[in-house]
Amino acid sequence: MNMDMNLFMQDMIRQARSEMEASGYEQLKTPEEVDSAISREGTTLFMVNSVCGCAGGIARPAAMHAVHYDKRPDHLVTVFAGQDKEATAQARMHFGDDHLPSSPSFILMKAEK
């Protein structure tokens, strides 16, 4: 049996992205989109997504379930580590030195006027 690994990975990536979008998360694919999201007033939950088992088994399900409460962030966004590398690097620059560049990970940010 010959498996096309690239085709397999693209299917996994497509599924991981669609899970987040279906849950109301906005995909940030460029550094400019990240900067725009950071500047929005209010709270923003960032999820650094990936195709690893921790993301698929724990982080994405947690991200999907965490938004079904009365108190929730104003904005839900996600960057995809390993796929949208420049956007992920830009997001991590805003996270500060105390937040390790891990994927999957979450960070809650608040922008004020």
Enzyme catalytic residues: 52, 54
Please, which residues bridge with residue 26 across strands? 77
Q: What are 13's two structure tokens?
A: 């990536």
Angstrom distance (rounded) from CA 29 to CA 71? 27
> Is 59 within 8 Å of 106 (Cβ atoms)?
yes
Q: Is the dihedral of CA 49, 87, 84, 18 positive or negative?
A: positive
